[in-house]
Amino acid sequence: TIEHMRAMKDRAIVCNIGHFDNEIQIAHLRNLKWTNIKPQVDEITFPDGKRMILLSEGRLVNLGNAMGHPSFVMSASFTNQTLAQIELFANNSGGKYDKKVYVLPKSLDEKVARLHLAKIGVKLTKLRPDQAEYIGVKPEGPFKPEHYRY
């Protein structure tokens, strides 16, 4: 709400990673001073001088502020969702998953990345055993521990 935005620290960064473009009350901010910092980044100044950084004009930040082509970002997002559904379906009868929300396993997240590497001209090399040991992972991955958040 506008009250929550007024209560934030000066220069707080606000964005929407929800489902709909109306989750931030942008209409309540339109009569304030807007300064465009760069594409998809605006600074809004409240009457008391406090400022807020707003990304993507309150629209979905994962699409509006994504670097590169939005269709590429959507492809990665949809691939994540598809692989997650395949994982749940394939392991449904074994009791591996209860009916709750799960974080996508790093192995599947990294599979999505591997599937998209060629489109951005990247080739992934294999870790040598000494490199894997140094960062504490298996040479074949996943390359981050499950608790790590990107």
Q: Which domains does the chain have, with CATH numbers?
A: 2-64 (3.40.50.720), 70-124 (no CATH)
- pLDDT value of residue 150: 63
What is the value of pTM for the model shown?
0.52
- pLDDT value of residue 144: 79
User: In what side-by-side order are the strands of the sheet with 12-14?
Assistant: 12-14, 51-55, 41-45, 33-38
- pLDDT value of residue 15: 92
Residues of the chain with pLDDT under 70: 67-69, 149-150
Q: Quick one: CA torsion of 26, 40, 112, 23, rounded to 10 degrees?
A: 0
How many Cα atoms occupy the beta-carbon half-sphere of 101 within 13 Å?
0
Query: In this predicted model, what pLDDT tens digit does every residue of 24-46 receive, in sequence order?
Result: 999 999 999 999 999 999 999 99
Task: Report how far residue 147's alpha carbon sits from residue 136's, in angstroms, rounded to the nearest whole number.
Answer: 14
- pLDDT value of residue 55: 94
Q: Are strands 12-14 and 41-45 parallel, antiparallel or unpaired?
A: unpaired
